Amino acid sequence: MNLADMLCYADIQQLSNIAHTYECECNGHSKNELIQSILSRVNRREVFERQVGDLSTEDIRFLNSLVFERRDLFSLEELLARAQQSNFGEGAGTRNPRDMISGFKHRGWLFNGYSQNTKYLFQLPQDLKKRFTDTLARSFGRELEYADEPSVYRDEQRLIVDDVYHVLHYMYHQEVALTSDGSIHKRHLQQLLDRLSVKEEPVPKGGWRFGYGRKFRDLPSRFSLIYDYCYYQDLLTEQPGRLALTDKGEQTVLEGRREDLAQVYRFWLKLYKGPIPNLQSLVFWIGKLATDWVSAESLGNALVRLIRPFYYDTPESIFDARVLQMMMHLGLIRIGEDERAGKTVIVTKMGESVIAGTYVSDEETIPVAFDNAPFP
């Protein structure tokens, strides 16, 4: 439902609270006057932008977690959890999640359901979602530094689907040995890495690597994604002492079939949403803000506040290595170098299409065991 519909179902107490927030001057005892006055104020762009502009960083994170959901209804427990998860960084723990929810209700951004089955649930007006994203985009956009098209840039469009095939092709013709701990034998790993379009070095021993895939501990980031994609798509199987193609994997090689890039992107979202719960919204913002060449630093300055640290991964390193770098590997963005602005990025036309056409719910997140996480 849209805001006007929800206002009609709201009780006069909530309408009075909303009217007070927007400094409406009307008869507070007339529901109709309250509704008309609220709509008049909310529909004014400068009033709406001021309300969004006055939000704290925690409020923006909370709002960001809601506007990209396709679900209409949220339980109080879900909202409390989202509000709590938005409360991190400097001053973390000072905001009461219930106060955040109450503040959104007073702004007319959250309403209780109106039926017997939904009266204990909450919903966000559908027509406000686009206004939120447009308003936040203008706010984030003011922080961007634009750059000229670089003379040289990295563009990996479709290379990852070619490399999925190259891995399967190698396994079709060559047995791949596994060590006792399930890692790919060093010689076979190097041969596999040498066949890929994008060169990566083997992961050095020591240090922490976990959370971003089943084999992230042992494999470099891009190849780890390729391996896990093949595993979860039932293209390869792990047997005692060796890797083997499944029937589906063999058929893929025999037919010379390439995977659908949108499906690889969708898999990446499902795999990385565990450590980066708001990954989908971050990708949306990058796609919306980087339609021209922009400096990666300014883009990070706008968006990194939305990112929660993940163990030793800082918001900055997550943005650079786990988001931008992987988006480039997926062909969603190009990365260049500008003499003045440093590293620059732009979304590709294919990236715009793939991002717009893909949605992954929280329930689809792939759980990953942290077998070398620093738990006590």
Q: Is the pLDDT of residue 200 over 90?
A: yes
Q: What are phi and psi of 284, to 5 degrees?
A: -60, -45
Under 8 Å between Cβ of 154 and 337:
no
What are the pLDDT digits (tens) for 136-172? 999 999 999 999 999 999 999 999 999 999 999 999 9
Q: Is the pLDDT of residue 90 over 90?
A: no
Average pLDDT estimate for 12-25? 95
Lowest average pLDDT, out of 115-119, 218-222, 311-315, 330-334, goes to 115-119
Q: What are phi and psi of 242, to 5 degrees?
A: -160, 160
Q: How far apart are CA 13 and CA 121, in angstroms?
A: 18
Res 65: pLDDT:
96
Under 8 Å between Cβ of 125 and 3:
yes
Lowest average pLDDT, out of 27-31, 146-150, 303-307, 368-372, goes to 368-372
Res 93: pLDDT:
65
Res 94: pLDDT:
73
State which fold the 270-364 domain adopts: Arc Repressor Mutant, subunit A (1.10.10)
Banded pLDDT at 232 (limits 50, 70, 90): very high
What are the strands, taking DSSP E only, across 167-322?
176-177, 236-239, 242-245, 294-295
Q: Is the pLDDT of residue 38 over 70?
A: yes
User: Whole-number mean pLDDT of the chain?
Assistant: 94
**Helices and strands per DSSP (H, E), number in the chain:** 18, 10
Q: Is 117 exposed, middle or buried (0-12, 13-18, 19+ CB in 10 A)?
A: exposed
Contacts 24+ apart (CB under 8 A), 188-192: 189/219, 192/167, 192/223
Q: Is the pLDDT of residue 114 over 90?
A: no
Res 229: pLDDT:
98
What are the pLDDT digits (tens) for 280-315? 999 999 999 999 999 999 999 999 999 999 999 999
Under 8 Å between Cβ of 172 and 166:
no
Q: Is the pLDDT of residue 374 over 50?
A: no
Average pLDDT estimate for 8-26? 94
CA terminus-to-terminus distance, the chain: 47
Tokens 């037919």 sit on residue? 255
Q: Report the SS3 class of residue 42.
A: helix
Which residue ranges make up each domain of the chain?
A: 3-108, 159-257, 270-364
Q: Report the SS3 class of residue 107.
A: coil
Which residues lie below 8 Å from residue 355, measured CB to CB, with a gap of 6+? 265, 283, 284, 287, 332, 347
Positive or negative, the CA dihedral 64, 65, 70, 74 is negative
Res 95: pLDDT:
82
What are the strands, taking DSSP E only, across 40-90?
73-75
Under 8 Å between Cβ of 202 and 265:
no
Q: Is the pLDDT of residue 376 over 80?
A: no
Q: Report the SS3 class of residue 196.
A: coil
pTM for the model: 0.94
Banded pLDDT at 371 (limits 50, 70, 90): low
Average pLDDT estimate for 327-339? 97
